[in-house]
Structure 1
Amino acid sequence: MFGLFKKKSEAEKLQDLYKKKLEEAHKISHSNRTAADKLMAEAEEIAKKIENLTKN
């Protein structure tokens, strides 16, 4: 309950965005492979940002 108003860190926000991109890519992959590949590339860029944040 005390964590109710806790703000998310930048890494947590990026993790949520990464997960959302992967889910979208999976859903789209059945009908439009090109769009799914684009979403996967975006997700990989987000993963690199997360890695850089956790390194520092």
Structure 2
Amino acid sequence: MFGLFKKKSPIEKLQKQYQQLMKEYHALSTSNRGASDAKFVEAEAIQDQIALLMKKTNETS
């Protein structure tokens, strides 16, 4: 209940976006290969952003 109004960190937001893109990628993989590949590229770019943010937070800690 107390976590209801907790703001999400930028990493959590990106992880949720990554998961959504991977779901779309998987759904499209059987019907439209080009769109599926585009979603995968978007997801990989977000994964790179997550890794970069995690690296920055680890360096400052």
Q: Same fold (TM over 0.5)?
A: yes
**Structure label with greater radius of gyration:** 2
Q: Which runs of 5+ in 1 are unaligned?
A: none
Give the alignment's TM-score, normalised by structure 2. 0.90
Is 1:28 aligned to 2:28, yes or no?
yes
Distance 1:55 1:5 in 2: 27
Q: CA deviation at 1:15?
A: 0.1
Q: Which runs of 4+ in 1 moved over 4 A?
A: none
Distance 2:2 2:51 in 1: 28
State the percentage of identical aligned residues: 52
Match of 1:42, SS state, is helix
Q: What's the RMSD between the two structures over aligned residues?
A: 0.4
Q: Which runs of 5+ in 2 are unaligned?
A: 57-61
